[in-house]
């Protein structure tokens, strides 16, 4: 076995072991484990955290500890299948976003399923958006970013005939809760993070009894005309690969400025 292949195999095995800590226990322990990893891996002396409450939602601003851009902000929607995740867990990503862009990042704790199924997460995303508008930001001052499950925010804004954000930055977006992508089958043996059983449970938690082709639930089924410029990242070895491929194609067909990077040998987010 080549040295590079051996290193990749060792990394995959490590990811499987770490992920099993948070994926294969009851949901409350899952959430606690994610926050534990976020607390350990998300600390940075280069950023400052400022806590806020948006109506009844906990949120936090992440800012670099130096002079930086104030005109534009990032609204971050954390992942977790709508059932887990938090601002604390997301610090492993939001800290990096703040440091690499020199922009302030707002991340919020939307209500989680199964206690709070659809449309709770989307409603809370709208509360965070409205909060930014009340602070005086315009839609064109906000970049919406997220990993995996987000808030399907742009479809909602368009349905209310409101202005859309300046851009989207999506990491391994979960766009099709009907699980129609062929990568569920072609990537099932190489994805160290997700499997169909886990995705099925997340769908049940969040959208049981709902029309899964509702674009507020599965954005791939929506109208992408007039969407903002979008950047997509996805791993080559994840079962949600086709969720990104289909989104990319739909955006191209709608003449959306879009770019997708597929990272060789990589997994979810």
| Active-site residue identified among 60, 218, 238, 244 | 238
Q: Which residues of 186-208 are buried (b: 16+ CB within 10 A; e: fewer)?
A: ebeeebbbbeeeebeebbebbbe
Contact (Cβ atoms closer than 8 angstroms) between residue 30 and residue 84:
yes
Sort 102 into a burial class: Cβ within 10 Å, 0-12 / 13-18 / 19+.
middle
Can you tell me the distance from the alpha carbon of 222 to that of 216, in angstroms, rounded to the nearest whole number?
Answer: 8
Q: Which residue stretches of the chain are H helix?
A: 3-23, 27-41, 87-101, 120-135, 153-159, 183-186, 196-207, 241-253
| Active-site residue identified among 83, 87, 148, 183 | 148
Residues in a beta bridge with 85: none
Can you tell me the distance from the alpha carbon of 234 to that of 242, in angstroms, rounded to the nearest whole number?
Answer: 9
| R_g (Cα) of the chain, nearest Å | 18
Q: Phi then psi for 41, rounded to 5 degrees?
A: -95, -15
Strand, helix or coil for residue 198: helix
Clarify whether 208 is annotated catalytic: no
How many C-alpha atoms does 156 have within 13 Å on its Cβ side? Answer: 18
Clarify whether 51 is annotated catalytic: no
Active site residues: 148, 238
């Amino acid at each position: 076995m080549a040295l590079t292949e051996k290193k990749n195999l060792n990394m995959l095995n490590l990811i499987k072991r770490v992920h099993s800590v948070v994926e294969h226990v009851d949901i409350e322990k899952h959430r606690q484990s994610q926050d534990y990893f976020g607390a350990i891996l998300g600390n940075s002396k280069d950023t400052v955290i400022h806590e806020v409450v948006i109506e009844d939602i906990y949120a936090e601003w992440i800012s670099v500890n130096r002079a930086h851009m104030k005109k534009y902000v990032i609204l971050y929607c954390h992942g977790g299948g709508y059932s887990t995740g938090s601002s604390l867990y997301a610090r492993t990503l939001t800290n990096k976003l703040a440091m690499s862009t020199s922009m302030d990042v707002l991340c919020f704790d939307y209500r989680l399923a199964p206690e709070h199924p659809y449309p709770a997460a989307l409603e809370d995303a709208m509360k965070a958006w409205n909060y930014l508008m009340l602070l005086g930001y315009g839609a064109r001052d906000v970049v919406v970013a997220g990993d995996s499950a987000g808030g399907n925010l742009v479809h909602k804004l368009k349905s209310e005939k409101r202005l859309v954000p300046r851009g989207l930055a999506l990491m391994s977006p979960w766009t099709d809760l009907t699980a129609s992508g062929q990568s569920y089958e072609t990537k099932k043996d190489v994805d160290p993070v997700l499997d169909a059983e886990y995705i099925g449970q997340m769908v049940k938690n969040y959208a049981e009894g709902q029309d899964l082709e509702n674009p507020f639930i599965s954005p791939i089924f929506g109208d992408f005309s007039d969407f903002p410029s979008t950047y997509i990242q996805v791993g080559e070895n994840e079962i949600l690969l086709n969720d990104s491929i289909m989104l990319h194609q739909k955006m191209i067909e709608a003449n959306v400025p879009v770019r997708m990077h597929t990272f060789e040998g990589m997994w979810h987010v």
